[in-house]
Amino acid sequence: MTIWSRTAAAFAVASLTLGFAGQSHATVFAAWQVANVPFGDTLNVRKYPSGTSQKQAGYPNGTVLQMTGRCTGGINLLDIANQPAWKQAQKIRYRWCEVWHDPVQNGNFVTGWAYGKYIIPH
């Protein structure tokens, strides 16, 4: 084998390795929208799934949120995505659902929790 073919083979192996490694970290988000929040108020996204947990950010009606798919009670938004919007909203109405957001808007995304009563499928 020539040095050229060895180098090409090494790059091919490295490319495949990096390609597969990058795929293992892929995440799918479900887009849901803030809705039904009283006029002048915001939906509080909290650190943990509890109304008494630390508030991370507030979002007004119409804001589109990136949901991880996880909700309390074992519900996954991706599993119910093929159902009608009203049925999806009904299933998570009294659940907390995990949000991927940037509360300080500085590029540092974190997870938080939004109450299902105030989000609808986007």
Q: Is 102 part of any domain?
A: yes
Q: Is 17 part of any domain?
A: no
104 has pLDDT over 60: yes
pLDDT at 29: 86
Edge-to-edge strand ranges of the sheet holding 30-34: 55-59, 43-46, 110-115, 96-101, 64-71, 30-34, 119-121
pLDDT at 52: 98
Q: Tell me, what CATH number does 115's domain have?
A: 2.30.30.40
Q: Is 56 part of any domain?
A: yes
- Domain containing 48 equals 27-121
**Structural domain count of the chain:** 1
**Interval 63-91: pLDDT, tens:** 999 999 999 999 999 999 999 999 999 99
pLDDT at 1: 54
- The burial class, CB within 10 Å (0-12 / 13-18 / 19+), for 45 is buried
Residue whose C-alpha is closest to residue 116's, from 76, 56, 57: 76
59 has pLDDT over 90: yes
115 phi/psi in degrees, rounded to 5 = -80, 130
Q: Is 12 part of any domain?
A: no
16 has pLDDT over 80: no
Q: Is 8 part of any domain?
A: no
Q: Is 1 part of any domain?
A: no
Asked whether the whole model's pTM tops 0.85, one would answer no
pLDDT at 90: 96
